Structure 1
Amino acid sequence: MFVVARGDRLAVERLRRLGDVVEAAMPRRAGEPLGRTLPRWPLALVDSLRLPRCRVFVSTGSNHSVLPALVSRLRGALLLNLESIDRFTVPAKAVRILRPFSAATLVHWPEQRRLYPDAVVTGPVYEPPRYKPRDEGYVLVTAGTMGFRGLFDAVERLGLRRVVLQTGRVDPEPYQKRNPGWIVFDFDPDFHRWLAGASIVVTQFPGSTAATAALAYRKPVVMVVNPGLPLAASIADAVYYAQRLRAILLPRASPSLLRRGLDLAEKLEPPSYPNGGETIARIAVSLAEGRHRL
């Protein structure tokens, strides 16, 4: 069973192929003032109380996971607490909250043990590939569910002919009208086919798309810091993350920096790591069957 934020249809479509998907309210969205979130916390609690029981609950570092994880723990589930893949210098708040209630804290990278000396290093957890990688000659530009208008505008000013642009909650229509040769959409449940065919992937930091592109599909990646996500990982985290993914990191979205970043990315060889998701699955199954204690 996967628990996703209510209304995140992209996550629902991606995960329903792997198992049951349950939606629960997200109490706080990225960059949102705490006061504005207060009406949603009771709804998030009600949704969490309605979740099916489980033996092991794996939390993945988002604030959305806090209430479902705590409710599941109170019902007797064992909690595995996974830090975000892009956190290296400051722990995620959700992970700090859940740590006292967890059977184990899990991290993707050895460097993250500086945050949690007793953590289990699983290796990076990323979505496995669904298609064989190929090069169809386009630049894929994506910024997740929320979108990143500043990045999209900067890419548009480059005058690129072959672009696939995923806009999220940013209106795709103006970009399509101004660039009739581009492929532009807000969401696509089969997003992996665009990852598989890209020559280069341009995406935002923070976010997990960079890891999927680099590790699952071995694509050159350009990451651009999104100033609209102030509660997420820091610039220092971005530097570590880019080094691990062998990605080009840009501090802001500007046409000149993007042009240089694309030129540099063409020369990069993406890294190769075993998927840590398999390690977590083995730990979870072993705990559920009572064969292992952490």
Structure 2
Amino acid sequence: MFGRFSLTLAVALATAPLHAEEMQQQVDAAFEAVATAVAEAGLDPVISIDHARLASAAGIEMPASRVQIFSDPDLDSAILSAEIRSGLDLPFRVLSYDGAGALAVMTTDAAFLMARHGLASSDALEGWDARLDAVLTPVNESATTAPVGTLSRDYGIIELASPYGLAESIQRLKDAILAQGDTIWFGEHDFRARAEARGITLPGATLLLFGGPAPGGVAMAEFLSIGLDAFCQKLFVYEREDGSVFVLFNGIAALSELHYGRSDKPHAALDARLAQTFSEALTRQ
């Protein structure tokens, strides 16, 4: 995957580490090249986030990093039909960032989905990788995939049960997120609605997207590749067959251990804060 040579991205990669301004230019160019490929492939943009510039506006300096999230509703629906919990790692996302002074691009491939969610090989997962291959053609010299070497089923997933129905759970969680003074609301992605538009039946499944530029910038500063799943934190709210509602989100410390073999105090602090915030939001009063 990502092996074809491409001249589409007209950016010369220096052999020595680049200065911050030059690195930001390369990250921006890679981001725009992927965004163009997403549009040309007919995929649906969901959201894009400029980690470094948002962090800077909040008074935190960090290396260049930008993530884009986009969707193929047919593939999402097929994968969710096999395992609804996989929605935590959907839809597509591509991170362009400063990889120690050289442009780096990272994405999540089918192997990651299979390892973390116990999925078997399928046409949908093959389609997932094929879509990524096409989108990453402009930057394939720099593209890698999220590590799977130590990944196991449910690795790093924090799960909470909700005593409420889907709609009320989502509203309570959204209210709790918006009440955080240092947090930005990026939006929500309703997988079931998109599936129904294609005649596919799914349980309730909604992804809530938000982030804290200041705490996120601190957490990512030396761990940039976790920006694939952090800073734009993903809160996945879903229904089981019996109608019970559960909430999944990523443990930042676990992601850091997966990517770098280590974590830092801000990661554990963020995990504790998120768990407390969401637990309180879902507590019956």
| Relative contact order, higher structure (CA 8 A, sep 6+) | 2
Larger Rg: 1
TM normalised by structure 1 equals 0.28
| Structure ranking higher in strand proportion | 2
